[in-house]
A = this chain, B = another copy of it.
């Protein structure tokens, strides 16, 4: 694969750092010509777009006089810079920024391909989704967002293959949150019940870095619902996002008005134990039915029914066995008797970065 690709990266957090580390190790890396984080942007000098930013030593490169230092650029400036590169340009968006996602059509129409784990552009208004893919066709650019769903599990590519080859999706059931998979799997193991307290599991997971900084971002089910929205669209349901279907929040109603700042988090964590009885009721109800409690999303295509929330599942079923893994099962016209199943240890920076890297390699393979 010739090294004639020009890469821009926006966002250098956990995923971004892991991605840069992996990028430094592939045999024929693209030229890194733009690297933006918070209010600083590093650029390879014009008109040659060379020397490029040293991938493994970009932090030291900030002191490098050969590179251009700028403040934060707006999407038009970034598009201008990348579109004029002397070879195919690819933008990796490592943020979770909706505004940047709204600029994808701008990049794509100018022939800049997009690789991203940012769910915002794919799970909001259906208009933006359509605009993104129409613009990609117009600009002869590619948009790969495999790791918006399921970490590195080949969820979207497998569903796209099924649809593209003329199969008909009948129903999908999945656990698309590694955090909720871990919490529920510990709270109620598939092998039997436990005496675990819900609020202390949440607290421990938070301390171990296994939740978002604000655990309510996991517990409200919204991130999960965004992933399910993306899946629904990939299989052809033109829904307008998580507002259109029921999403059961595991945040007690009484605590939903707490502020979303650090003080709000602390107050939420200290008040959560008083609501443990609610989860216990749900667990007891499952025990009575000889079932196991899981947080599950499902799509039934014939009825266009989509939902996310707690569900009693059969003991011994794959869903009952989950403790932290993500999971997807798909029934189709061809997979009608036994479903197609994908399962794997959730996200995490390194795993998401790997999904990104796999997408980048595919884009380079297709643009060569």
A residues neighboring B (CB under 8 Å): 22, 25-26, 152-154, 157-158, 161-162, 164-167, 190-191, 316, 318, 321, 323-325, 334-335, 337-345, 350-351, 354, 357-358, 361, 365-366, 368
Contact = CB atoms under 8 A, between A and B. Distances in A.
Given A152-B161, A157-B154, A167 B354 contact: yes
Given A334-B354, A335-B345, A341-B343, A154 B158 contact: yes
Contact of A342 (B161, B316, B318, B342): B342
A189 to B, nearest CB: 11
A227 to B, nearest CB: 18
B338 A341 contact: no
A330 to B, nearest CB: 9
A345 B354 contact: no
B351 A345 contact: no
5 tightest Cβ-Cβ pairs between the two chains A and B = A341-B343, A338-B345, A161-B358, A340-B344, A165-B357
A164 B350 CA distance: 14
Nearest to A19: B165
A26, A167, A338, most chain B CB atoms within 10 A? A338
Contacts of A22: 165-166
Contact of A345 (B153, B161, B325, B339): B339
A42 to B, nearest CB: 24
16 contacts: A22-B166, A25-B166, A152-B334, A153-B340, A161-B361, A165-B358, A166-B357, A324-B337, A324-B338, A335-B344, A335-B351, A337-B345, A338-B345, A341-B342, A341-B343, A342-B343
Nearest to A324: B338
Contacts of A354: 161-162, 165-167, 334
Given A152-B334, A334-B350, A341-B342, 17 more contacts: A25-B166, A26-B164, A26-B166, A157-B157, A161-B358, A161-B361, A164-B361, A165-B354, A165-B361, A325-B338, A335-B344, A335-B351, A339-B344, A339-B345, A340-B344, A341-B343, A341-B344
A340 B342 CA distance: 8
A361 B321 CA distance: 35
Contacts of A342: 341-343
A30 to B, nearest CB: 14
A222 B167 CA distance: 30
Nearest to A181: B338
Contact of A321 (B165, B191, B316): B316
B334 A340 contact: no
Contacts of A164: 26, 357-358, 361
Contact of A365 (B152, B153, B325, B366): B366
A33 to B, nearest CB: 21
Contacts of A166: 22, 25-26, 354, 357
Given A153-B340, A341-B342, A344-B339, A316 B165 contact: no
Name the residue in A153, A154, A165, A325 with the highest tally of chain B Cβ atoms < 10 Å from its Cβ: A165
A217 to B, nearest CB: 22
Contacts of A158: 154
